[in-house]
Amino acid sequence: MPILDFKEIAQANLTNGLQDTFEMFARDFFMMLGFEIKDGPDRGQDGGRDLIINEKREGIIGDTEISWLVSCKHKAHSGSAVQSNDEIDIKGRVESFGAQGFIGFYSTIISSSLNRSLEGLKRHFDVKVFDREIIEKMILENPKGRTIAKRYFPISFSKWEEDHPKPANIFSEYEPLHCQNCDKDLLPQGDGIIVFKKDLKTEVYVAFLWCCKGKCDQDLKSKYRLMGYTDAGWEDISDILIPGKYLAWNMAVLNRIQQGDDKYSDEAFKSLKQFILRVSQMVLRSQNDEQIRRLMDLASLP
């Protein structure tokens, strides 16, 4: 199911001042990929081109530069495929602009007839098609692309961000939460579990661990069993990444410590605090520039 709604980009066939938006989106997309924009979007007769972009290719015996003619077709509002009659005389257009390749940049898919025409043109020059699925995939996999998506697809990208949160800038740099058995970072996907290890003789938590489910959990369980310690509770990390659950879990831990129900060794308590801090990166919102400056001011106070 598509993630980005291309209908958020204004229609290209309406004269409302926004009709060039899809072409500007194409320009920003190819700049993200590292192309040089030779001729960008403009109004008026374009002679069958929306963009001319240059690609530099590094070779063993030297570098080459390829010029691409880009044709943009924005049909997301109608949902129609791009047809052969939407792309007239591609070969003549490529040659007239001195290009060495053709790129179709489309917000829908291409028809079977256009696909056959493009396949036939590959005998003469390079042909590439970027349809909505390819565009979406390349944008969401690239940090620069996500910035572009936020600009051109504010509604659908905001929904995607809710399901794919990035770490908040709580610390000067990202702090991973490595599995204490295999070293995998558990935070990005909320993988793994936390486990409390208790000494039943003293009723003290001697360790607070985080690890992958399955083998890593079993390896650590065997290790601590040999030391005479047992599991005394566990939680899915993915659950604690839910903001409401994060608050409830922290309150429960604090309440049990305050009431004297739970006692921790120094090492276990240190691990507990480390876990709370690192998980906060995925639960709390990022700080804006003004807040960061204020935080630095507060830190400088005696």
Identify the pLDDT of residue 264: 96
pTM higher than 0.75, yes or no?
no
Is residue 86 within 8 Å of residue 96, measured between CB atoms? no
So what's the pLDDT on residue 287?
Answer: 77
Q: Are strands 126-130 and 193-199 parallel, antiparallel or unpaired?
A: unpaired
104-133 per-position pLDDT tens digit: 999 999 999 999 999 999 999 999 999 999
pLDDT digits (tens, 9 = 90+) for 94-111: 999 999 999 999 999 999
Domain ranges of the chain: 6-163, 168-302
- Sequence-separated (6 or more) residues with CB below 8 Å from residue 279: 177, 187, 237, 240, 241, 246
- With vertex at residue 161, the alpha carbon angle to CA 160 and CA 166, rounded to the nearest 5 degrees, is 145
- Class of the CATH domain delimited by 6-163: alpha beta
- Contact indicator for 187, 278 with CB cutoff of 8 Å: yes
Q: Note the pLDDT of residue 47.
A: 54
- Rounded-to-integer distance, Cα 77 and Cα 70, Å: 21
Contact 243, 190 (CB under 8 A): no
Dist. CA 297–CA 293, nearest whole Å: 6
Q: Which residues of the chain have pLDDT under 50?
A: none
